[in-house]
Amino acid sequence: MKHHATRHSTVERHILSAIPRSAPRQPVVLDPAGDPYARVAVEAYAEACAHEQPWLAEALQRQYQLAGGTPSSAAALWRAFHEAQRLAREGQSYDEAAWTHVALHLCGVLGAMNL
């Protein structure tokens, strides 16, 4: 049985030929030191990831000397610590001495990490 080209099959072939083929992916390298647009892109990325990955935002700020508009990871850790302590105080087995002990060690660790 011979297949006859129909208007429908011609349209399908045209649609399929119009779909872009996936090209091999190539990494994009930004040079914030020499390209002002790359610097803006890195600043935007640092700002966008600051809430969920403050350590990454800080690393980008340090590496490219960006403005410190994102929260520091040390500040984020202290906020989390104080929120956990506040919630613990509402419970039955809160121990102030234990929380003070943890706070002192956290302070030492953050100081050693230079955060």
Same domain, yes or no: 112 and 92: yes
pLDDT over 80 (residue 58): yes
Residues 63 and 96 in one domain: no
Query: Residue 67 sits in which domain range?
Result: 30-71
For 114, left (φ over 0), alpha (ψ -120 to 50), or beta? left
- The answer on 113 and 80 residing in a single domain is yes
Q: How many domains does the chain have?
A: 2
44 and 82 co-located in one domain = no
Mean pLDDT of the chain: 78
According to DSSP H, which parts of the chain are helical? Answer: 7-18, 36-49, 54-64, 73-89, 96-112
- What pLDDT score was predicted for residue 69? 54
pLDDT over threshold 70, residue 87: yes
Q: How many angstroms separate the CA atoms of 36 and 67, rounded?
A: 14
- Asked whether residue 80 falls in the same domain as residue 65, the answer is no
What is the rounded distance in angstroms from the CA atom of residue 27 to the CA atom of residue 100?
A: 47
pLDDT at 84: 93
Q: Is the pLDDT of residue 112 over 80?
A: no
Is residue 105 in some structural domain?
Answer: yes
